[in-house]
Amino acid sequence: MTGKDKKIVYVDKGGKRLDGRKVNELRPIKIEAGVVPRADGSAYLEWGQNKVIAAVYGPKECLPKHKANPYKAVINYTYRMAAFSVPDRKNPRPGRREMEISKVSGEALQQAVMVENFPNAMINVDVEIFDSNAGTRVAALTAASVAMADAGIPMRDIVSGVSVGKAGGNIIVDLTKEEEDAEDAVDVPLAFLPNTGELVLLQLDGLLTEKELKDAIKLGEEAAKKVQGLQAAALKKKYSEALKVKEAVK
Amino acid sequence: MSTNVLWDLSIDKVLAEIKQGRRLDGRKFEETRKVEINHEVSKNADGAARVKFGQTDVVVGTKLGVEAPYPDSPDKGTISVGMELLAIASPKFEAGPPRPDAIELSRVVDRGIRESKAIDFNELCITEGEKCWVVFIDGYAINDDGNLFDACALAGISAVLRTRMPKLEDGKMVKGEYAGQLKVHRKPVLTTIAKVGNDLLVDPQMYEEAAMSARLSISTTEDDYICAMQKGLGGSFTGAEVNRCVELAFKNAKSLRKML
């Protein structure tokens, strides 16, 4: 309560944010592909304080059968937060927020994954958040698409997530919890197909003008390209190592 | 689900007509169906509205409740939005706990009202740290002929604008007695745009919804702010399409807002 009257400067005169980042700078991101041996594909991702594990199972026969689509595979995306992943313990029962995020994230993957190759099948994507500090849905989606590629499922492009928004009148990329708590905060989670620039996830909470939205999306697209680079590197790392082992056996 | 041949043929027909620049019901791409708003829904509700977009029909009612505020915002009240897809509204809906479709709808309507700051949560405080007002906004789909999003959002803000504040005595609500209106500071209006092929359609009808690859819902305010957005379904939007959708949303909201 003490800080109530104190005005927080979200971007100082030198262009630095509260945690020292520039307006277009992402938090450190670490991605590792293939961390769950039992899964068809998986990924571990650290994005600032956020820690995420994603696993993909499938394509397999769609059950229950009435959910099957004779034209394409169904993607069942499940986003969940561990009870201990937030400051106050979260009720483990899935909430409305998690259900909504699961729905839009699964839909975001559909455009990238060649679902038409697998009629009547389903692909299960499960993502669990173990630690969180703003931007978990885009971190989860970024990890999930690495897991999807790791599973060898054909894709047109990877899905690269990034959140943009506004704090203290500044349009910034990859907001932290502290920035999301700003009086005028706006949160815009985005996900792109980086090669075409298509938007596959787009949500917005807060007040933004038309011009600010355009600036925010532009900032997001540039940042998503950086995320794409890290996703590709993680996949290359796993498969170049696998190749080395194979050659050694020969 | 997709075994219905007539259904599939209808989708093909929509796609073919849209390519020719025509919609099945003769509307222009940026045109909304005839909208009707009626407030004679429920006397027990503190505020209510029934909204029709063509044959799409929804009812929303509000109730005020006195509850303890959240510990992290002791000086603020809140809103609670729930939209139910009643089984009476469509063969696709079933009774039971809300499914992802209904949850997404509720949350998009919630964000439009919440983030526009239409209701000042500080004004809902009764006694700091002890009691606050909660505005419950509950809606029901009566008939789904497409675009429940815009219909529910318009009915939501319309009901909120009509909401009477129950009378308080010693911190308790007096049943059936009112003391003025709920203060509303903005009028957010939601516009949903369907992407069918490469075309953008305002207010998609049921068959257009079946044919769309993606939709973008945008809530705007009378003072030129965007207050909530939600992209839905498996397709994508380019940056240029998003800009066009925002333009369409501002224009559409302006004309719908006059009916509030």
Of B100, B232, B237, Cβ closest to residue A102: B100
Query: Taking CB atoms and an 8 Å limit, are B3 and A70 in contact across chains?
Result: yes
Q: Tell me the average pLDDT of chain B.
A: 91
pLDDT > 70: percent of chain B = 98
Write out chain A residues lying below 8 Å of B80, CB-based: none
Chain A nearest-CA distance from B157, in A, is: 17
pLDDT of residue B58: 93
pLDDT mean over B97-123: 94
Put simply, whether A216 touches B (Cβ < 8 Å) is no
pLDDT of residue B13: 87
pLDDT of B137-147, one tens digit each?
Answer: 999 998 899 99
Distances (CA, A) of A185 to A76, B165, B213: 31, 29, 31
CA dist A140 and B115 (Å) reads: 24
Nearest-5° angle of CA A242, CA A246, CA A250?
165
Q: ipTM of this predicted complex?
A: 0.73
CA dist A41 and A147 (Å) reads: 5
Query: Taking CB atoms and an 8 Å limit, are A203 and B243 in contact across chains?
Result: no
CA dist B152 and B163 (Å) reads: 16
Of the ranges A92-96, A236-240, B92-96, B191-195, the best mean pLDDT one: B191-195
Residue B95 pLDDT exceeds 80: no
Write out chain B residues lying below 8 Å of A66, CB-based: 1
DSSP H or E run through B140: strand B131-143
Put simply, whether B222 touches A (Cβ < 8 Å) is no
Of A198, A206, A208, Cβ closest to residue B238: A198
Put simply, whether A163 touches B (Cβ < 8 Å) is no
Write out chain A residues lying below 8 Å of B106, CB-based: 96
Chain A nearest-CA distance from B212, in A, is: 13
Band of residue B89 on the pLDDT scale cut at 50, 70, 90: confident
pLDDT of residue B5: 67
Q: Looking at chain A from residue 54 to 83, which residues have their Cβ under 8 Å from any Cβ of chain B?
A: 66, 69-71
pLDDT of residue A3: 47
Query: Taking CB atoms and an 8 Å limit, are A103 and B103 in contact across chains?
Result: yes
Nearest CA in chain A to B230: A203
Query: Taking CB atoms and an 8 Å limit, are A110 and B234 in contact across chains?
Result: yes
Residue type, B228: A
Question: Of the candidates A5, A26, A14, A2, which has an alpha carbon nearest to the alpha carbon of residue A222?
Answer: A26
Q: Name the 3-class secondary structure at B197.
A: coil
pLDDT of A165-209, one tens digit each?
Answer: 999 999 999 999 999 999 999 999 999 999 999 999 999 999 999
Put simply, whether A110 touches B (Cβ < 8 Å) is yes
| Size of chain A in residues | 250
Put simply, whether B104 touches A (Cβ < 8 Å) is yes
* Domain boundaries defined on chain A: 14-249
CA dist A44 and A214 (Å) reads: 32
In chain B, the N- to C-terminal Cα span, in Å, equals 38
Name which of B114, B226, B227, B246 to mutate to probe chain A: the one with the most chain A Cβ atoms within 10 A of its Cβ: B226
pLDDT mean over B218-239: 95
Residue A147 pLDDT exceeds 90: yes
pLDDT > 90: percent of chain A = 83
pLDDT mean over A153-176: 97
pLDDT of residue B171: 79
pLDDT mean over A124-135: 93
Chain A nearest-CA distance from B230, in A, is: 4
Looking at B5-115, which runs of residues are DSSP E strands?
35-38, 47-53, 56-67, 78-84
Q: What is the CATH number of domain A14-249?
A: 3.30.230.70
Query: Taking CB atoms and an 8 Å limit, are A69 and B229 in contact across chains?
Result: no
Residue A1 pLDDT exceeds 50: no
Put simply, whether A98 touches B (Cβ < 8 Å) is no
Put simply, whether B74 touches A (Cβ < 8 Å) is no
**Domains of chain B: residue spans and CATH:** 28-257 (3.30.230.70)
Chain B nearest-CA distance from A22, in A, is: 24
Query: Taking CB atoms and an 8 Å limit, are A188 and B228 in contact across chains?
Result: no
Nearest CA in chain A to B81: A96
Put simply, whether B198 touches A (Cβ < 8 Å) is no
Of A69, A198, A214, Cβ closest to residue B2: A69
pLDDT mean over B163-185: 89
Chain A nearest-CA distance from B110, in A, is: 10
Query: Taking CB atoms and an 8 Å limit, are B226 and A202 in contact across chains?
Result: no
A118, B125 in Cβ contact below 8 A? no
Put simply, whether B235 touches A (Cβ < 8 Å) is yes
Of B3, B117, B242, Cβ closest to residue A199: B242
Chain A to chain B, count of Cβ pairs less than 8 Å apart? Answer: 102
Of A69, A199, A218, Cβ closest to residue B231: A199
pLDDT of residue A82: 85
pLDDT of residue B91: 78
pLDDT > 90: percent of chain B = 73
Band of residue A5 on the pLDDT scale cut at 50, 70, 90: low
Residue B16 pLDDT exceeds 60: yes
Nearest CA in chain A to B97: A96
pLDDT of A10-62, one tens digit each?
Answer: 999 999 999 999 999 999 999 999 988 888 999 999 999 999 999 999 999 99
pLDDT of residue B80: 94
